[in-house]
Structure 1
Amino acid sequence: MEDNVDVIMENVTTLLSFRDKHATRLGGILGGLTASVYGLWAVFVFPGFCKVPWRLRVPFLPSSKAQVQNVMKLLEDRKGRLVDLGSGDGRLADLSGFSNVTVFLAPGLVTRILEKKLKDELPDDARIIVCRFPFTHWPATCSEGSGLDQVWAYDIQTIKKQLPKSK
């Protein structure tokens, strides 16, 4: 004998109600997790992309404490103004008034154009500290640390002596 439609629907509804409780919890957990990840991304990563030209958009790579300490060691006892390249929106101003420069740029952004600008505009007593990605065309004066925390120092006076005049 076959069950009528009411009995079948009652059994289906009972089965679905047990499954829905677990599905609802799982859906709530996944939805909350998704919202949390998006929230963190929106707060910490997205603002860095807002004003940067599309061709220069790179991921946020924070400096470690060890890397900052290495930079400070290489800047010890130095006087003069400091500019940090890699913390802005990609625009470069005149660098002639700075004696100390820190550079934390992705390898694709450290170009010969930037090297030429630094060499041509910085005074002879200037020092450039490069984090994580060294200038490949310049000989480093000294370095501090190792691995991802390594930083390199380039003294402009040494660079100008060792490399030919910029074109």
Structure 2
Amino acid sequence: MSQALPKETPREEGEGGSRRSSWGLLVTAGVGGTLVALYAVATPFVTPALRKVCLPFVPATAAQIQNVLKMLENRSGSLVDIGSGDGRIVIAAAKMGFQAVGYELNPWLVWYSRYRAWRDGVHQNTKFYISDLWKVSFSCYRNVVVFGVPQMMPQLEKKLEEELECNARIIACRFPFPCWIPDHTTGEGIDTVWAYDLKHSRGCETKTFEIAPETES
């Protein structure tokens, strides 16, 4: 009597299940790695939006840059762009001869700004820092450019008034300061730029001394 051969089906099913399990692990690992990479890239962009005062990145238009440069005519000294984004204002000011500095919280934008400054040949006249604007003193700057949002303008107005010297000029783009009266305004709509000379906004007065004529004794 012949004996029946043992069935191989269970082993085949076990091998197939093992292969499916391995593929499942590989897919899970791939998806997990992709999510981690996306988180690493997106975090610098999302984190600023989670702060109390959100300062989103909106690239300056060509008209805004030209209006800012117009407000810088006949000015000299150091310049700072608060929330410098991709560095457009800083680079444009450096081409005018300013020693220009940008402060930006997003490290990706700071690195890109440095690359653009190097590409445009003004890297020696520009500096970009990764920093929260509320933790920086702007007392050493004579020209300040701000691309802000309405929620931050009152607090920033107070900060700049406390830190800057009377000879400073503050240039606000898109949104004006709530209390200061602008000395100059140019542009329309979102391209509007307001310039404030702190000596007028603060009420600084230039003292003059009269020399009394000498009298003969």
TM-score category of the 2 structures, normalised to the smaller one: 0.5 to 0.7
Structure 1 SS opposite 2:151: helix
Q: 2:69 aligns with which of 44, 67, 72?
A: 72
Which amino acid in structure 2 is aligned with residue 79 of structure 1?
Answer: S
Do residues 106 (structure 1) and 103 (structure 2) align? no
- CA displacement at 1:80 relative to structure 2: 0.8
Structure with greater helix share of residues: 1
Deviation at 1:48, TM superposition (A): 3.0
1:154 aligns with 2:154: no
- Distance in 2, matches of 1:65 and 1:75, equals 16
Q: Percent identity among equivalent residues?
A: 43
State the TM-score, normalized to the length of structure 2.
0.50
Distance 1:46 1:72, change over 3 A: farther
Moved over 2 A (4+): 45-60, 89-92
> Any gaps of 5 or more consecutive residues in structure 2?
1-37, 85-103, 106-131, 205-217
Q: 1:47 to 1:129 in 2, by over 3 A?
A: same
Partner secondary structure for residue 200 of structure 2: helix
**Root-mean-square deviation (CA), in Å?**
2.4
Query: Which structure carries more relative contact order (alpha carbon 8 Å, separation 6+)?
Result: 1
Residues paired across the two proteins, number? 120
* CA distance 1:102–1:58, change in 2 (3 Å): closer
- Call closer, same or farther: CA 1:85–1:58 in 2, change over 3 Å: closer
8 Å Cα contact 1:49/1:57 also seen in 2: no
| SS of equivalent residue, structure 2 residue 52 | helix
- Could you tell me how far apart the structure 2 residues matched to 1:109 and 1:127 are? 19
